[in-house]
Amino acid sequence: MKRNKPAGACVSTRFATFTVPLLILAVTATAHAQAAPDPASFAPCVAGLKAAAVARGVSPEGYERLTASLVPDMKVLDLLDYQPEFRTPIWDYLAGLVDDERVADGQAMLAQWGDTLAAVAARFHVDPATVVAVWGVESNFGRNFGSRPLLTSLSTLSCYGRRQAYFRGEFYDALKIVDSGDVSAEQLTGSWAGAFGHTQFMPSTFLRLAVDFDGDGRRDLVGSVPDALASTANFLRKAGWREGEVWGYEVRLPDGFDASGAGRRNKQSLAAWSVRGVKRVDGTPLDGAGNAGLLLPAGPKGPAFLVFRNFDAIYGYNAAESYALAIAHLSDRLRGGGPFVTPWPTDDAGLSRAERRELQTLLIARGHAIGTVDGMLGDASRAAIRIEQQRLGQPVDGRGGQKLLSALRREGGAGQPLQQDGLDAPTQGR
Ligand code: CA
């Protein structure tokens, strides 16, 4: 999922909402018909922000030192306004985020950091599997922090584009983090929008909630796994996490169920759901503490879930129900749980990251210049997928699913030559 989109705690620039039948992971950007930004105005703009930064707590010397060599990165403005044409179905989103590989990696992390996680749970009252699931989704267990220098991105977004007031606040907070010595400017890299470190906190979230758990005097969400795990738990606790309670579980709806009244926020008592015929997916009665909302990520014909208050705490980390479901489900898988019982309403299931890498390898073998095999199906991969779908007589939608992968596997090797019917369209670079 990384890294051409924002991520991280309380990043208000990443939106995802459920629609039926597709999940839109699109940033609903406003059309921007502004004049091209003028790089010459950058230095005066940054100079003009000094007073506000100092008022916010950045030292005057620190401001001068940390901004002296900044140059704008205009590419982040394109990312700010990026509108993906491709709508990612929920089953694709989850297939990539909660796959066997991430479950195995997460279980290895639970073992490796067991003592730390036990201490975190004792202090913050959030269980290890949930904390590790957030870590796995946010940065793939510390493997992917994002590589954009935060001060560059945030200063650019502070001076250009459509959300300058918001990004100025994050810019000042990022300066404070470096100025205080918690994280060095060199280590402060992340997503284009400013999320960084193991937990992909935004700078403002860092200042509110980051914790020095290893006791070295620095809150270091880049270099310290204990600090990162404790900070994640602290976030969830402050978001209302209740120890010992479940996030929710999959349920089975009776035939002819009236799905009006569904929705995470529309919480009702378990007695009310029981009266309407809702049972746990294994047929047992509903249980759990408090009221629950009915989540139907793909409509009434797909998997259904009752979600409790702890689901809302996860949602607070990143306001998207798809995201919260990925973390919740990964945490269950880390505890030994299985995949969802009810299939998604599709005859062409999504691909794990291993399968995406295999698909990319098969595309490259057919001559498509899609860049490196990274398991992320970006624009270049999708362009190649369209060409192969057309050649194979499949619906041409640019989506990499099991049907295309199976067809290419059956062909094996390099498959059919590309040079036919003028279909060898140039693929884009990443
Ligand atoms: Ca520390």
What are 47-98's pLDDT values in tens digits?
A: 999 999 999 999 999 999 999 999 999 999 999 998 777 788 999 999 999 9
Which is higher by pLDDT, 230 or 6? 230
Asked if 220 contacts 230 with a C-beta cutoff of 8 angstroms, the reply is no
What is the amino acid identity at position 280?
R
**Ligand 1: centre distance to CA 229 (Å):** 11
At a CB cut-off of 8 Å and minimum separation 6, what does 85 contact?
none
Q: Which of 63, 12, 320, 15 is nearest to 167 (CA)?
A: 12
**Ligand 1: centre distance to CA 227 (Å):** 5
Separation CA 304–CA 184 (nearest Å): 45
Q: What tens digit of pLDDT does each residue of 133-163 get?
A: 999 999 999 999 999 999 999 999 999 999 9
Residues forming beta bridges with residue 306, ordered by sequence position: 249, 294
**Ligand 1: centre distance to CA 224 (Å):** 6
**Ligand 1: centre distance to CA 186 (Å):** 17
Separation CA 394–CA 390 (nearest Å): 6
**Ligand 1: centre distance to CA 125 (Å):** 20
Q: Is the pLDDT of residue 17 over 90?
A: no
**Ligand 1: centre distance to CA 250 (Å):** 38
Span 403-425, average pLDDT: 67
**Ligand 1: centre distance to CA 29 (Å):** 37
**Ligand 1: centre distance to CA 225 (Å):** 9
Distances (CA, A) of 168 to 73, 110, 150, 155, 264: 15, 37, 12, 7, 32
**Chain-centre distance for alpha carbon 207:** 21
**Mean pLDDT computed over every residue of the chain:** 89
**Ligand 1: centre distance to CA 214 (Å):** 5
At a CB cut-off of 8 Å and minimum separation 6, what does 367 contact?
414, 418, 424
Q: What tens digit of pLDDT does each residue of 175-222 get?
A: 999 999 999 999 999 999 999 999 999 999 999 999 999 999 999 999
**Ligand 1: centre distance to CA 64 (Å):** 26
Q: Is the pLDDT of residue 5 over 70?
A: no
**Ligand 1: centre distance to CA 220 (Å):** 5
**Ligand 1: centre distance to CA 328 (Å):** 27
**Ligand 1: centre distance to CA 175 (Å):** 18
What fold characterizes domain 22-86+146-238? Helicase, Ruva Protein; domain 3 (1.10.8)
Asked if 25 contacts 93 with a C-beta cutoff of 8 angstroms, the reply is yes
Q: Residue 37: its pLDDT value, please?
A: 84
**Ligand 1: centre distance to CA 223 (Å):** 8
Structure tokens that stand for 163 in this block:
């959300």
Helical H segments across 88-220, by residue range: 90-97, 100-112, 114-124, 128-139, 150-159, 164-179, 203-209
Q: Is the pLDDT of residue 417 over 70?
A: no
Fold match, 22-86+146-238 / 353-411: no
**Ligand 1: centre distance to CA 326 (Å):** 28
- Spans of all domains in the chain: 22-86+146-238, 248-307, 353-411
Structure tokens that stand for 301 in this block:
């014909």
Structure tokens that stand for 283 in this block:
């047929």
Question: Percent of the chain beyond pLDDT 90?
Answer: 83
Give per-residue burial for 401-411: e unless 16+ CB within 10 Å, then b: bbbbbebbeee
pTM of the complete model: 0.87
At a CB cut-off of 8 Å and minimum separation 6, what does 357 contact?
373, 374, 375
Separation CA 321–CA 247 (nearest Å): 12
Structure tokens that stand for 350 in this block:
């999504």
At a CB cut-off of 8 Å and minimum separation 6, what does 294 contact?
251, 259, 261, 262, 263, 266, 273, 278, 304, 305, 306, 307
Please tell me whether residue 299 adopts helix, strand or coil conformation. strand
**Ligand 1: centre distance to CA 184 (Å):** 13
**Ligand 1: centre distance to CA 199 (Å):** 14
Separation CA 252–CA 250 (nearest Å): 7
Q: What tens digit of pLDDT does each residue of 23-45 get?
A: 344 444 444 445 678 889 999 99
Q: Which of 333, 279, 268, 277 is nearest to 305 (CA)?
A: 279
**Ligand 1: centre distance to CA 216 (Å):** 5
Q: Residue 422: its pLDDT value, please?
A: 35
- Furthest CA-CA distance within the chain: 68
170: phi > 0 → left, psi -120 to 50 → alpha, else beta; which? Answer: alpha
**Ligand 1: centre distance to CA 2 (Å):** 26
Q: What tens digit of pLDDT does each residue of 237-250 get?
A: 999 999 999 999 99
Match domain 353-411 to its CATH number in 1.10.10, 1.10.3210, 3.30.70, 1.10.101: 1.10.101
